[in-house]
């Protein structure tokens, strides 16, 4: 049974991803937000952790503890992230630091110790969630802090892929457009959610990436835009 870390597991995307990986027979190590543990999914193959992943020491301690317990970690799906709007005029340095902490540090602090472990194992898959404004600057002019912070994940994936080349350890970036979540439906009542991306479809794509079928993929950036 392959062991997979999923961060942001109680988020809108994370719930669908966690459910699908459990359904497909993985052992899931889910990192959830404070207060979410009690009401989270229950499953024989699910372990739930509350960790502030913006805290490097806490994140490293979490990774160390699951390596000690499970020996081998097949994949990590690093889903924690969040969004603020703002163009250059309205975006402060503090806004940028906060978004980097949320969108980049929470992934880096898990990926950093895991990369060493995966190289030692001789296998591993790390999946980041980018965003279209983080990839295409013209989409990001009114989302400056968010776009800058997400753009770092694309560079990080390239560094990991260069560092681990030839070692069967890969980093992949999944790039959703708008995800069909209750939050987005509420904030964009005039938009057609059928054009957005379903969390369940993103979950299937992530499972393909980390499965045996996805094993030959390298340096992968997957744009999952549907019709938006």
Ligand X SMILES: NC(=O)c1ccc[n+]([C@@H]2O[C@H](COP(=O)([O-])OP(=O)(O)OC[C@H]3O[C@@H](n4cnc5c(N)ncnc54)[C@H](OP(=O)(O)O)[C@@H]3O)[C@@H](O)[C@H]2O)c1
Residues within the interface to ligand X (CB under 6 A): 8, 10-14, 31, 33, 52-54, 79-83, 102, 106, 129, 131, 176, 178-179, 181, 184
Residue placing its CB nearer to ligand X in the complex, 11 or 124: 11
Residue placing its CB nearer to ligand X in the complex, 144 or 216: 144
The contacts of residue 67 (CB under 8 Å, 6+ apart) are: 73, 117
CB of 156 to ligand X, least distance (A): 13
CB of 12 to ligand X, least distance (A): 4
Tokens (6 digits) for 101? 């902490």
DSSP letters, 3-70, are EEEEESTTSHHHHHHHHHHHHTT-EEEEEE-TT-STTS---TTEEEEE--TTSHHHHHHHHHHHHHHH
CB of 163 to ligand X, least distance (A): 23
Residue placing its CB nearer to ligand X in the complex, 52 or 200: 52
Whether the CB-CB separation of 8 and 76 falls below 8 Å is answered with no
CB of 89 to ligand X, least distance (A): 23
The contacts of residue 119 (CB under 8 Å, 6+ apart) are: 164, 167, 169
Angle between helices 12-23 and 199-210 (to 10 degrees): 50
CB of 23 to ligand X, least distance (A): 18
Residue placing its CB nearer to ligand X in the complex, 129 or 169: 129
CB of 209 to ligand X, least distance (A): 15
The DSSP call for residue 177 is S
Residue placing its CB nearer to ligand X in the complex, 161 or 226: 226
The 10 Å CB-count burial string (b at 16+, else e) for 188-201 is: eeeeebeebbbbeb
Question: What is the distance between the alpha carbons of residues 194 and 178, in angstroms, rounded to a whole number?
Answer: 10
Residue placing its CB nearer to ligand X in the complex, 98 or 211: 98
């Amino acid at each position: 049974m392959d062991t997979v870390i999923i961060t942001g597991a109680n988020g809108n995307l994370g719930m669908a991803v966690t459910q699908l990986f459990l359904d497909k027979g993985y052992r899931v190590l889910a990192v959830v937000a404070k207060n979410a543990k009690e009401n989270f999914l229950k499953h024989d193959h699910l372990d739930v952790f509350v960790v502030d992943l913006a805290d490097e020491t806490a994140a490293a301690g979490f990774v160390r503890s699951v390596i000690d317990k499970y020996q081998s970690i097949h994949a990590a799906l690093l889903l924690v992230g969040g969004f603020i709007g703002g163009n250059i005029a309205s975006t402060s340095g503090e806004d940028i630091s906060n978004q980097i902490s949320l969108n980049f540090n929470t992934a880096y602090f898990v990926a950093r110790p895991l990369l060493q472990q995966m190289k030692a194992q001789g296998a591993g898959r790390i999946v980041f969630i980018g965003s279209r404004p983080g990839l295409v600057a013209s989409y990001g002019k009114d989302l400056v802090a968010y776009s800058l912070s997400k753009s770092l994940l694309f560079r990080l994936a390239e560094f990991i892929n260069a560092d681990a080349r030839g070692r069967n350890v890969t980093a992949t970036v999944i790039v959703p457009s708008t995800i069909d979540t209750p939050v987005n439906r509420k904030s964009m009542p005039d938009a057609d959610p059928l054009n957005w991306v379903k969390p369940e479809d993103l979950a299937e794509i992530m499972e393909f990436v980390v499965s045996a079928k996805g094993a030959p993929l390298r340096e992968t950036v997957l744009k999952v835009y549907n019709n938006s």
